[in-house]
């Protein structure tokens, strides 16, 4: 019994040490990230989209489905955002009041939707990573909705919403700035699910700030390409919109790189054989 407890204690200490080293290593890689070429990034985004557009479409379809269900549920319990638009001409005070109420009433719904959206997109990034590394692609779109990850995603959803709401109250410029670091929450989490919520947020802002301009530029172009789906009677945007998630995936890939397997997972595998 004492031997088992000792092994578990050592495993816990080793796991915490690896987590710390993993976080420090991530920050170090971001700090020394190489300069990226805009045209090469766009080419990579388009090429991967052409190969994985169907999987991206399924992710977007799932997000739309969840959004409809959540909106209906919140409407039934009376927590849906109010849509009482001001009439009788434009009035700054009325507009600000409407804008503020809409943002505030949207908070619970936004938290839940942000959590689910990050889980689905993280699963999409996991599929993209498997494809890029030449591994067997496993189409598990609900991989990060498991109990082991959901509480962390929920906290990230709360942090994401808090930053978004604060930026929205400051109107356009702060929200545009915050949009880029926020976009990295999911890809950092997908590749480092063992990190704490605070570490994920710090790493996302560090990478977002360091690569802000090229991230904004590539996401803007990808957004324009995604909107081409509107030409297909509007519904075509469901097939093209997933391209907007690929720029941060490739920027993370080039700036940080991918690990073939988690060191923490390997510790668990190796130590299980001792029991």
In a domain, 7, yes or no: no
Residue 54 falls inside a structural domain: yes
DSSP type of residue 257: -
User: In this structure, is residue 225 part of a structural domain?
Assistant: yes
The pLDDT tens digits for 105-141 are: 788 889 999 999 999 999 999 999 999 999 999 999 9
Task: Determine what percent of the chain is predicted with pLDDT higher than 90.
Answer: 58
| 257 phi/psi in degrees, rounded to 5 | 90, 170
Contact 156, 196 (CB under 8 A): no
Q: Can you give the C-alpha Rg of the chain in angstroms?
A: 21
Confidence of residue 62 (pLDDT cuts 50, 70, 90): very high
Q: What is the DSSP letter of 35?
A: P
Q: Give the pLDDT band of residue 202 (cuts 50, 70, 90).
A: very high
32 found inside a domain: yes
In Å, what is the CA distance from 173 to each residue of 19, 165, 166?
35, 13, 12
Is residue 198 exposed (0-12), middle (13-18) or buried (19+ Cβ within 10 Å)? exposed
Instruction: Answer whether residue 17 is part of any domain.
Output: no
Mean pLDDT score of the chain, rounded to an integer? 83
Range of the domain at 54: 25-262
Asked if residue 10 belongs to a domain, the reply is no
Check whether 272 has a pLDDT greater than 50: no
In the chain, how many domains are there? 1
Tell me what percent of the residues of the chain surpass a pLDDT of 70.
76
Q: Which two tokens stand for residue 119?
A: 């889980």
Whether 9 maps to a domain, the answer reads no
Q: What is the pTM of this model?
A: 0.83
Asked, for residue 258, whether it belongs to a domain, the answer is yes
């Amino acid at each position: 019994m004492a031997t088992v407890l000792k092994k578990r204690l050592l495993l816990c200490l080793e796991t915490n040490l690896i987590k710390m080293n993993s976080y420090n290593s991530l920050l170090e890689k971001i700090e020394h990230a190489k300069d990226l070429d805009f045209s090469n990034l766009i080419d990579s985004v388009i090429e991967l989209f052409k190969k994985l557009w169907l999987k991206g479409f399924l992710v977007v379809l799932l997000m739309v489905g969840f959004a409809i269900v959540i909106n209906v549920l919140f409407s039934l319990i009376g927590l849906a955002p109010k849509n009482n638009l001001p009439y009788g001409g434009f009035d700054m005070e009325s507009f600000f009041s409407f804008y503020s109420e809409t943002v505030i009433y949207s908070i619970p719904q936004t938290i839940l939707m942000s959590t689910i959206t990050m889980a689905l997109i993280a699963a999409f990034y996991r599929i993209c990573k498997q494809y890029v590394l030449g591994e067997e692609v496993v189409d598990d779109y609900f991989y990060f909705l498991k109990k082991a990850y959901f509480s962390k995603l929920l906290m990230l959803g709360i942090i994401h919403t808090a930053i978004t709401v604060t930026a929205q109250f400051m109107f356009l410029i702060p929200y545009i700035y915050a949009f880029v670091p926020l976009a990295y929450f999911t890809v950092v989490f997908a590749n480092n699910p063992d990190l704490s919520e605070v570490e994920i947020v710090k790493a996302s802002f560090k990478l977002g700030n360091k690569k802000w301009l090229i991230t904004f530029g590539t996401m803007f172009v990808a957004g324009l390409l995604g909107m081409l789906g509107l030409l297909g009677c509007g519904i075509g945007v469901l097939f093209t919109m997933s391209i907007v998630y690929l720029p941060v995936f490739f920027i993370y890939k080039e700036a940080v790189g991918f690990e073939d397997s988690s060191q923490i997972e390997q510790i668990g595998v190796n130590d299980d054989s001792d029991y």
